[in-house]
Amino acid sequence: MSQPRLLDPDLDFIREMKSHGAVDVKKCFQCATCSVVCNVSPDDRPFPRKEMLWSQWGLKERLLADPDVWLCHQCHDCTNYCPRGARPGDVLAALQRMSVMRYATPKVWARMVREPRFLPIVFGIPVVILLVFMAACGTLRIPEGEIVYRKFIPQWPVVDVIFPITAIWAVACSAAGIRKMWLELKAMGPEIRKEYRYSPLEWVTVYVGGTIVDILKHQFFKLCDANRFRFVAHFNILWGFILLAITTACVAAGVYLFGKQTPYPLSNPIKWIGNLGAVILIVGSVLAIKNRLSKGEKAGRATYFEWLFLWVVLATGVTGLLTELLRLANSPTIAYPMYFVHLVCVWFLFAYLPFSKFSHMLYRTTAMVYARWAGRALGKGVEIAPPAMGTWEH
């Protein structure tokens, strides 16, 4: 006979969930339709039925340390098929927003990104930083002659100091959040693979590498039925960022290793990759915004948290592309300010990565790695493959 367990519901947590968009959670009557129709949910301990129950009970610690909250890919099949209108997809989206706040280090930055009243400060920080550095370099005026953006915002010290420091900040804050999440997952999760001795090589190739392949293929987004169009938008945004990252790495190598300064001619393959990345990013973000607007609540109740990220992604792609077009059109009075706005958007995306909607890249990836390590396979009817390497202790 199972032992009785004392539940201590956190009513404040339930109210906080509702403030994040889970307003219909109490309508759930545990029919399990959500878990049945979800093609991403595994056969073993499927979601989101148990999360709906825990939410109604106010089990804060259990929910915010639950990897399945992040394994949900927000396709909202469950919401569209729910006979009670409990909107399980919105409940899990609310829990994801709360998890970001829980793992954020420092939390004040997450609070600023989450609340609209801080918007002037959130954008004011990169604007002031850039202007101060430009004033120190004496480059606040629009330069004369051929449009060369480093004459307006110097490579050194502006770009070479601000953005590496921003990258270090983002990595440090991201690592702190991922560490918090992983420790909670291990502490609250089931006793799995306790006797298994895994090697660092296995972690890289099987768990991390396999997860990255899944993400690059976006195979779980393809399983959605009611909101299948979301796959196209999300896939474009992902690969837009990847192509732009490749372009940035190539330009940095050209500048610092080979002394090859920008701008590059349009015939340069690096330019092709960058332009393609910008176009794909714009297309993906436009499709994502259009999907949200046209489908309304069928695509999930979007909050300020989601809208801010989508619009900044779109602004990043548009300003980046316009920066090149305006340079080619020889319009310095518009081109230079456009470049300034583009750098503000880029700084925003990466400085606030651990605290914004962008952080789902960190936490969903961590949850997927944990699922592989724990021996769970996403998708209905998918069999769990045995570990490929390592040894079992006897």
The string of pLDDT tens digits covering residues 228-275 is 778 889 999 999 999 999 999 999 898 888 888 888 888 999 999 999
pLDDT computed for residue 295 by the predictor: 74
* Contact (CB, 8 A) for 110 and 48: no
Supply the mean pLDDT for the chain: 87
**pLDDT at position 385, please?**
46
296's tokens: 């309304």
CATH code, 11-103: 1.10.1060.10
CA distance 28 to 40: 20
Strand partners of residue 196: 392
Q: What is the pLDDT of residue 217?
A: 87
Report residue 392: phi and psi, to 5°.
-95, 135
Residues of the chain with confidence (pLDDT) below 70: 1-8, 189-199, 299, 380-394
Greatest CA separation for the chain: 84
Count of CB atoms within 10 A of residue 324's CB? Answer: 18
- Token pair of 84 as six digits: 């009670």
CA distances from 197 to 189, 202, 372 (A): 18, 10, 15
- Joined tokens for residue 49: 């039925």
- Helices 360-374 and 160-188: crossing angle, nearest 10°? 40
**Structural domain spans, the chain:** 11-103, 107-220+303-374
CA-wise closest residue to 222 among 213, 234, 205, 212: 234
224 with 75: CB under 8 angstroms?
yes
Q: How far apart are CA 130 and CA 88, in angstroms?
A: 43
Cα(first)–Cα(last) distance of the chain, in Å?
Answer: 30
Residue 145 falls in which region: left (phi positive, over 0), alpha (psi -120 to 50) or beta? left
pLDDT of residue 393: 34
Q: Which of these, 234, 391, 368, lies nearest to 313 by C-alpha position?
A: 234
- Distance separating alpha carbons of residues 338 and 323, to the nearest angstrom: 6
Does the pTM surpass 0.85? The reply is: yes
* Degrees, nearest 5: CA angle 261-281-159: 35
Query: Is 197 strand, coil or helix?
Result: strand
CA proximity to 66, closest of 36, 84, 31, 41: 41
